[in-house]
Structure 1
Amino acid sequence: MPGYIEIFNLGKTYDTPNGPAIIVEEFNLNMTQGEYICLLGHSGCGKSTVLTMVAGLNPITTGGVVVENREIDGPGPDRGVVFQSPCLMPWMTAMDNVMLGVNQVYPHASKSERRDMAGYYLTLVGLGNSLHTRAADLSQGMQQRVGIARAFALRPKMLLLDEPFGMLDSLTRMELQEVLLEILVQDKVTTMMITHDVDEALFMSDRVVMMTNGPRARVGKLIDIPFERPRNRTEVLEHNAYYDIRGDMIGFLEEQDHKKLKTDAAKREASRDQEEQSCLAPA
């Protein structure tokens, strides 16, 4: 069934000296408007590859991505991206950093309208008193708030988050998770987030996409998250289904670990056999 976001047969292959390396293949996913999806899997399974292809920052080898009935062919303001590091201009203020994107996307709006837009989202993320503070003088958590405000100020149809809280301490991380969810409930932006944190995925998402190991990574399992929105962290943790779903997610990751061990052992065995045959071959 078609979705607001359609990702069909998405694949990425890189040319290497040893031949083509297929990183992701036949990745399929439909998302409804306002849905929050987390991609979860081991390091190197292709999560960031998928996200950057959806963002239009990484050329697609096979398949495609459709955002509200339009197939993408590169980056665009309909998709806002927040990385682990917010990549701000350190000599510019919080306001000016957000205005960089707003000025590009809304050139026909008046200057006051553009500043109101930037100020509105900076205030929503809790930086109403720091609009004119240089990015270099902001804490890491505050800088990430600027990055989130910058993405929302473009009013994208889709938000793409690449471990946006990965470099933050646990308290700041939890605070920003709740700030982000409040804005998402209000703006109903369809969201895809990469995380390595099972509990973060459980608290934030509507569905979790469990990815198989790379190379040739794909969707291994889709897990529905039944908690109602808006979410209260204590109520989520006390929900009857919480630990069953958590166990299911961890079980999938452990299964991928086991498969990797078997694959690595088979490769070592094949390498030893090849070496032995090479030694026994006549000169």
Structure 2
Amino acid sequence: MAGYVEMYRLGKTYDTPNGPAVIVEDFNLNMQQGEYICLLGHSGCGKSTVLSMVAGLNEITDGGVVVANHEIDGPGPDRGVVFQSPCLMPWMTAMDNVLLGVNQVYPHGTTSQKRDIAGYYLTLVGLGNSLGVRASSLSQGMQQRVGIARAFALKPKMLLLDEPFGMLDSLTRMELQEILLEILKRDKITTLMITHDVDEALFMSDRVVMMTNGPRARVGKIIDVPFDRPRVRADVLDHPEYYDYRADMIRFLEDQDHKKLKADAEKLEALKAKNAQELQQQA
């Protein structure tokens, strides 16, 4: 079934001195409008590569991405991006950082209208009393709130999140998770988020897409998350199937670990055999 967002046979290959290096290969995923998907896998498996291709920040080698019936060919305001580090202008205020994007998306709006939009989303993320504070004076959690507000203020068709809570303490992380879900409930934006945290994935998403290890990473398994929305953390944790889903995800990751260890061992044995052969030829 076609989706609001379609990633078809998506692939990324880099040229290296030792020949082509295929990072992602034949990655296929359809997302329905308003769906929240978490992309989960080991470090280096290609999660950020997929997200950066969907964002238009990394050239696609194979396949393509369609968002709302439009095939992307670069970055655009239809896709809001929030990185692990919020990438703010430190000398600018929270308001001015959000206005950077708003001014691009609403070029014909009045100054008052643009400030109202920026102020609205900053207030939603809990920064209504910090509009005029410079980014350099904000805590890390507050800076990430500005980044989230800036992404939503663009009114994107799709939201892309690259471990947006990864650098935050656990209490701030949980608070921002709930703020994000509350805004998404209002705006119903199709969302793709990268995470390493199985509990975060289960709490936030409608489906969890498990990626195989690289190179040539692809979709390895898709898990449908059955918990009702709006999500209440205590109810999710008390769901009778919560730990079954959690264990299933961990088993997949452990299986990828075993496959990597086996592949590494085979490479080592092949290298030993090659070296032994070369020594024998030199003798």
TM bucket, shorter chain: over 0.9
- The structural deviation recorded for 1:123 is 0.4
In structure 2, C-alpha distance between the alignment counterparts of 1:282 and 1:208, rounded to whole Å: 53
- Cross-structure match for 2:121: 121
- Cross-structure match for 1:159: 159
In structure 1, C-alpha distance between the alignment counterparts of 2:108 and 2:30, rounded to whole Å: 34
Matches within 5 A, 1:255-266: 255-266=255-266
- Cross-structure match for 1:253: 253
In structure 2, C-alpha distance between the alignment counterparts of 1:86 and 1:282, rounded to whole Å: 57
- Cross-structure match for 2:191: 191
- Cross-structure match for 2:87: 87
Superposed CA deviations along residues 207-257 of structure 1, whole A, max 9, x for unmatched, are 000000000000000000000110000000000110000000000000000
**Structure 2 residue 211 is matched with structure 1 residue 211:** yes
> Given the two structures, how large is their TM-score scaled by the length of structure 1?
0.99
In structure 2, C-alpha distance between the alignment counterparts of 1:282 and 1:50, rounded to whole Å: 46
Q: Percent identity of the aligned residues?
A: 80
**Structure 2 residue 225 is matched with structure 1 residue 221:** no
Q: CA RMSD in A?
A: 0.6
Structure 2 unpaired stretches of 5+: none
> Given the two structures, how large is their TM-score scaled by the length of structure 2?
0.99
- Cross-structure match for 1:169: 169
- The structural deviation recorded for 1:282 is 4.5
In structure 2, C-alpha distance between the alignment counterparts of 1:238 and 1:224, rounded to whole Å: 18
In structure 2, C-alpha distance between the alignment counterparts of 1:130 and 1:85, rounded to whole Å: 19
Letter in 1 for 2:277: Q
Structure 1 unpaired stretches of 5+: none
Superposed CA deviations along residues 39-77 of structure 1, whole A, max 9, x for unmatched, are 000000000000000000000000000000000000000
Letter in 1 for 2:98: V
In structure 2, C-alpha distance between the alignment counterparts of 1:167 and 1:34, rounded to whole Å: 26
In structure 1, C-alpha distance between the alignment counterparts of 2:126 and 2:33, rounded to whole Å: 26
- The structural deviation recorded for 1:132 is 0.6
In structure 2, C-alpha distance between the alignment counterparts of 1:91 and 1:282, rounded to whole Å: 64
In structure 1, C-alpha distance between the alignment counterparts of 2:240 and 2:77, rounded to whole Å: 40
- Cross-structure match for 2:277: 277
Superposed CA deviations along residues 115-135 of structure 1, whole A, max 9, x for unmatched, are 110000000001001111111
Letter in 1 for 2:114: R
Q: Secondary structure at the match of 2:215?
A: coil
In structure 2, C-alpha distance between the alignment counterparts of 1:142 and 1:230, rounded to whole Å: 24
Matched residue pairs, number? 283
Letter in 1 for 2:235: E
Matches within 5 A, 1:123-138: 123-138=123-138
In structure 2, C-alpha distance between the alignment counterparts of 1:282 and 1:149, rounded to whole Å: 66
In structure 2, C-alpha distance between the alignment counterparts of 1:130 and 1:198, rounded to whole Å: 33
- Cross-structure match for 2:69: 69
- Cross-structure match for 1:48: 48
In structure 2, C-alpha distance between the alignment counterparts of 1:134 and 1:282, rounded to whole Å: 67
- The structural deviation recorded for 1:110 is 1.1
In structure 2, C-alpha distance between the alignment counterparts of 1:228 and 1:78, rounded to whole Å: 28
Letter in 1 for 2:21: A
- The structural deviation recorded for 1:8 is 0.2
In structure 2, C-alpha distance between the alignment counterparts of 1:89 and 1:282, rounded to whole Å: 61
Q: Secondary structure at the match of 1:281?
A: helix
In structure 1, C-alpha distance between the alignment counterparts of 2:11 and 2:282, rounded to whole Å: 43
- The structural deviation recorded for 1:196 is 0.3
Letter in 1 for 2:3: G
Q: Secondary structure at the match of 1:167?
A: coil
In structure 1, C-alpha distance between the alignment counterparts of 2:121 and 2:176, rounded to whole Å: 14
In structure 1, C-alpha distance between the alignment counterparts of 2:229 and 2:96, rounded to whole Å: 33
In structure 1, C-alpha distance between the alignment counterparts of 2:67 and 2:274, rounded to whole Å: 48
In structure 2, C-alpha distance between the alignment counterparts of 1:70 and 1:147, rounded to whole Å: 26
- Cross-structure match for 2:20: 20
In structure 1, C-alpha distance between the alignment counterparts of 2:247 and 2:72, rounded to whole Å: 36
Letter in 2 for 1:165: F
In structure 1, C-alpha distance between the alignment counterparts of 2:212 and 2:191, rounded to whole Å: 21
In structure 2, C-alpha distance between the alignment counterparts of 1:38 and 1:93, rounded to whole Å: 31
